[in-house]
Structure 1
């Protein structure tokens, strides 16, 4: 179809420059009609697709120059690292896909709950699920007959069009249950199982609805390349497009997979000291200062300064695929972390020396904390409540509550980062994304061309109508309102509506940074913010505050995951309606099984989950943090955060955080050629300025070094190796590590029975031989 007017000059010039620089090997190859003022939209997109396919052929055959292999930006990643190939004739919705989809949705939900109670914040790796699904799919193909009636059960080779939806459904099932059962802290409030499951399901489907409505802006364009999905997309294509086990990429993948599978038994079980090697801890086992600064191999132990980690389970592959400038901004933030955490603790700010160096609990002034007792000299959360609401008379008897100094710093930094993220997105990405957000308006008449080869190849498939997502949003909203009232949340309809409106704003902001930079939020960060908002709407009510945190943060977390899977579907040419089906299926199955799995883990490991430091293998830090937010904001909000109170800076930080990106943008407009002003990101720096206040921290230095080696040195000096193998290596290391981690967790670490200790780790000290955290 001919466009009725020329594409705006900015988009036209960008596109023609892109064609010249990225697609054509020389200027003589450029067609004359690219200089035309008016051209066919469809013809131009088909031309770009054809030229990208030719480039892909040259890259795959090795005939391309080194300069053509060089990856410079998001568009290069999408057409040089990934194939545009689409085997359109392959079956998608098969009995095998649906059957395995239900099974692996259950498996993904179990695994997610398992990781939720780990000291280090771990997510279910796409690489791990991808590999396990591949083994089962190929076993189904080889072991079951495929003739006669069996052809409906086993129709033939296990293909990429089945494989991808299986991963998507299992990933969507892997969402943390969060708080719906009795948290392992102190509240005895426990929902009816049906209400609990539908509460979780409603919050998930709201996030999915947000994602579906945002896909035109944050999935279709090539600038939104979603760094987190490049690795699994590369693995899919290596397994299904590279000619089986004979290709070099596939051989490298399986070799590394097997090697890391065997190696990870050593740091995870036999010699956990490899989790964090710290010379300072080896020299001095008894100093709390050494532990706080240089230790970090145990949960809530220390900052891990100068420690070296040899455990890929906590290093992870993000350092290999996250864009270089994103990592550099993170590293700057971590540098500030070392200074700020030491300053607030050893400067005794907020009475920091009275409390542990790192903790997500709340304390009385003497630093004493037992969450579920009635001992009056220790801070007892339930003693300040009457009918689950704040009682000022009881509070006067119990006294004020305090955070660990580093935890209070985290809340301030988190709010600063949230404000900065919104400002940064509006200042720096508005022009690029505005045309696509206009597409959300059904009355918009402005022509917007999506110049993305993968999107062009997907045009043969029917899109999911917008009214599907709007209908799903209405159903999920009704479900949320119903469970609020039946669950006696004290969270009214108008409060829920306001929280969801706020959530939609931050979902757009964080999904944008995830799409462009690979930079995501922390769910605990969002929990704190929405707990703060909930405390203003329902003062003195911790249960209502919990619901505010759930319905505020969960749609954003879920929206990021779902949009990433939609981009994965675009890269690998999965029909949009199939993606819709498996994502909803995964959400439903996950809501059911998450509940069962969390009940099992809490009953088996309750003592470890209640402890402030937890153990090397189990930690209740996430549940403790959620519970702390509910009590601190819901019950004690006015006593802790009002003007003149101890932590009054925490809510003010949100507004302060919006200012730095505006200043940076003004300077960038004045000096537009400055690389630093263009790439420096205050929201990321702030986000990571208290990054080490929780969990295991010895991996930071190793990840920093690997990130620079991968994204700078190898990418520029060895572009062929980077383009062909970087993301495959990342996936192999993640996949092998998480397969053995899953086996060890079930067999040896106590997820399905008693833990099996090993002599290689002396329980008297932390894993890095520092003084164990108290």
Structure 2
């Protein structure tokens, strides 16, 4: 599936031109289409859909030519790797789907929030949820009665659309919302325990804004085949293998289960029996006393080193993104990693920003002597006090951490430039569709999108209404939650967020690159510090409403594309995503409230305990306090 060329080599307009110019007629082909230029718009789309169905049949039977098996671009991925099949009559909104979706939403959100406060980070895997929901759904189908009134509980075979809708709902909820960090910091460090209603609406507002952005962008970043969302191809393929290829009896699924069982058994060794396999460095084994060796070649533990030429035997750390991320994207990431090794060594060993006074890697704040900086000593009423700051002295980041913030801001500009330079012409017609006064009709030629036209779309005013509601929630909770973040500051941040959401969602849709983590926080924190000088709480809210819509927008646009691949009706997709957001936010807050109240002493400790830690929150406090100082 990977290619050595940029994935979007063939665009939707080119596909249309091919259909209009090419005559599908030869002595050895069963299909015979003459002059397709006489076809109407719908006729062209139906012709394209029919050709894709015939191609899929030839590929499945082994009768296709070698050239037809070749995957060259995004469009080929969408029709050759995935099936365009749609069983229109399958039920979607069933009691079984809602029960499984809500149940695993609760499971995922609780687990994600629990491990946010743990020393060990554990994410909820989409593949894990997919497999477990499938097992339980098939067991439900087999063992529960399906006659009489029970037919409403067990409406027959557990189908791909029920499965997909349940997964989208569960995975939407299965993360720790960024707003939880802000709520926790206010409670732990600023003695501002938010009212439960305000906290919940803060969670909902920050997440639903991102969902609104995603809904308004789907015409540009979901419908076209150029936006094939590489990260979604794998789960979509698993769905179709489980439901279209004979379930557990198909050859491809048997291979999958064999690999799954092998990885499951193997992971026992690096996870529990022999954890040193997480990172093995020959150079550190030769000389583990040298700080230079540890800084450059170490890296099995957090902030230990850069891990150059180290070998990892733990699949949990390796991950599977390398299997579906386009080769072109991976090569660019590798180039960036090489520059990272060079730059980090240069700033540290060159003693730039007094780097040698501090650890090689750290997210903490230090004084000039390398001691932990006393942040509370420079605050008065939770705001920056320049008189106290003059007494305590200047604060410093580790040089490599300062380099991270610089390169993160540079990366934002690079992302905008990349999208404008390489994808402007291809995506401009679809972005014109966002203009309600635009009279130009843009034709989207994508077989999956064509197959979805039989379902009623979600009207744009639904997303606009949701955006208005979420914006109102954010404004109300900013004032009632003592955020010190005014209405115009929030409006400016959301305007900037919408701009960067478009850019980062575009790279995620086309290149499969979305691993920017908290890259955007530093930028929005700087903007927040300019708009609300000396106020770390307002600074946090600026980062929250700046970066969270982008994070949420990427996740939800990916789910919309998954729904298009699985032929889930758009209004059902809207329903399950909003339900996942709401359930996740509520349970995130319940877990946060319980843990913070019962483990307050452990969470306030810098080192934490074996069971509880808030390293991520410490990093957040350090970051915003430092930016307020500057």
Normalized against structure 2, the TM-score is what? 0.93
Summarize the Cα distance change of 1:199–1:305 in structure 2 as closer, same or farther, 3 Å threshold. Answer: same
Summarize the Cα distance change of 1:608–1:384 in structure 2 as closer, same or farther, 3 Å threshold. Answer: closer
Matches within 5 A, 1:431-450: 431-450=425-444
Match of 2:533 in 1: 539
**Deviation digits for residues 595-648 of structure 1 (CA, Å, limit 9, x no counterpart):** 233455665697588557x899986443233222221123x13xxxxxxxxxxx
Secondary structure in structure 1 of the residue aligned to 2:453 = helix
> Which residue of 412, 419, 424 maps to 2:413?
419
Match of 1:571 in 2: 565
Does the 8 Å CA contact 1:182/1:189 hold for their aligned counterparts? no
Secondary structure in structure 2 of the residue aligned to 1:181 = helix
Matches within 5 A, 1:301-380: 301-369=304-372, 379-380=373-374
| More displaced 10-residue stretch of structure 1: 260-269 or 330-339 | 260-269
**Deviation digits for residues 659-691 of structure 1 (CA, Å, limit 9, x no counterpart):** xxxxxxxxxxxxxxxxxxxxxxxxxxxxxxxxx
Match of 1:79 in 2: 79
Summarize the Cα distance change of 1:11–1:141 in structure 2 as closer, same or farther, 3 Å threshold. Answer: closer
Matches within 5 A, 1:683-698: none
> Which residue of 453, 462, 477 maps to 1:459?
453
Match of 1:94 in 2: 94
Does the 8 Å CA contact 2:184/2:592 hold for their aligned counterparts? no
Secondary structure in structure 1 of the residue aligned to 2:99 = helix
Gaps of 5+ in 2: 1-10
Summarize the Cα distance change of 1:52–1:191 in structure 2 as closer, same or farther, 3 Å threshold. Answer: same
Q: Which structure ranks higher in relative contact order (CA pairs < 8 Å, sequence separation ≥ 6)?
A: 1
Matches within 5 A, 1:408-557: 408-557=402-551
Match of 1:32 in 2: 34
Match of 2:201 in 1: 198
Does structure 1 residue 595 correspond to structure 2 residue 596? no
Match of 1:167 in 2: 167
Does the 8 Å CA contact 1:281/1:290 hold for their aligned counterparts? yes
Summarize the Cα distance change of 1:305–1:618 in structure 2 as closer, same or farther, 3 Å threshold. Answer: farther
| More displaced 10-residue stretch of structure 1: 235-244 or 619-628 | 619-628
**Deviation digits for residues 300-325 of structure 1 (CA, Å, limit 9, x no counterpart):** 11111001111110111110100011
**Deviation digits for residues 268-292 of structure 1 (CA, Å, limit 9, x no counterpart):** 1110111111111222232222111
CA–CA distance in 2 between the matches of 1:22 and 1:553? 49
Does the 8 Å CA contact 1:389/1:542 hold for their aligned counterparts? yes
* Alpha-carbon offset, residue 293 of structure 1: 0.8
Match of 1:146 in 2: 146
* Alpha-carbon offset, residue 119 of structure 1: 7.1
Match of 2:69 in 1: 69
Does the 8 Å CA contact 1:352/1:405 hold for their aligned counterparts? yes
Does the 8 Å CA contact 2:110/2:591 hold for their aligned counterparts? yes
Does the 8 Å CA contact 1:299/1:616 hold for their aligned counterparts? no
* Alpha-carbon offset, residue 61 of structure 1: 1.7
* Alpha-carbon offset, residue 117 of structure 1: 5.2
Match of 1:182 in 2: 184
**Deviation digits for residues 561-609 of structure 1 (CA, Å, limit 9, x no counterpart):** 0000000000000000000000000000000111233455665697588
CA–CA distance in 2 between the matches of 1:393 and 1:549? 27
Secondary structure in structure 1 of the residue aligned to 2:363 = coil
Secondary structure in structure 2 of the residue aligned to 1:525 = coil
> Which residue of 293, 296, 305 maps to 1:293?
296
CA–CA distance in 2 between the matches of 1:513 and 1:196? 32
Match of 1:711 in 2: none
Summarize the Cα distance change of 1:415–1:331 in structure 2 as closer, same or farther, 3 Å threshold. Answer: same
Summarize the Cα distance change of 1:22–1:382 in structure 2 as closer, same or farther, 3 Å threshold. Answer: farther
Summarize the Cα distance change of 1:525–1:590 in structure 2 as closer, same or farther, 3 Å threshold. Answer: same
CA–CA distance in 1 between the matches of 2:189 and 2:204? 25
Does the 8 Å CA contact 1:113/1:597 hold for their aligned counterparts? yes
Match of 2:125 in 1: 125
Summarize the Cα distance change of 1:13–1:588 in structure 2 as closer, same or farther, 3 Å threshold. Answer: closer
CA–CA distance in 2 between the matches of 1:616 and 1:315? 25
* Alpha-carbon offset, residue 435 of structure 1: 0.6
CA–CA distance in 2 between the matches of 1:439 and 1:460? 20
> Which residue of 362, 385, 389 maps to 2:379?
385
* Alpha-carbon offset, residue 258 of structure 1: 1.2
Secondary structure in structure 2 of the residue aligned to 1:495 = helix
Does the 8 Å CA contact 1:119/1:299 hold for their aligned counterparts? no
Matches within 5 A, 1:607-756: 607=602, 611=606, 620-634=614-628, 636-637=629-630
CA–CA distance in 1 between the matches of 2:358 and 2:265? 41
Match of 1:15 in 2: 16
CA–CA distance in 1 between the matches of 2:115 and 2:334? 25
Does the 8 Å CA contact 2:529/2:539 hold for their aligned counterparts? yes
* Alpha-carbon offset, residue 80 of structure 1: 0.6
> Which residue of 227, 231, 256 maps to 1:224?
227
* Alpha-carbon offset, residue 441 of structure 1: 1.4
CA–CA distance in 2 between the matches of 1:23 and 1:532? 58
Does the 8 Å CA contact 1:195/1:483 hold for their aligned counterparts? yes
CA–CA distance in 2 between the matches of 1:19 and 1:354? 67
> Which residue of 581, 585, 590 maps to 2:579?
585
**Deviation digits for residues 183-207 of structure 1 (CA, Å, limit 9, x no counterpart):** 3984444323322221011010000
Does the 8 Å CA contact 2:297/2:307 hold for their aligned counterparts? yes
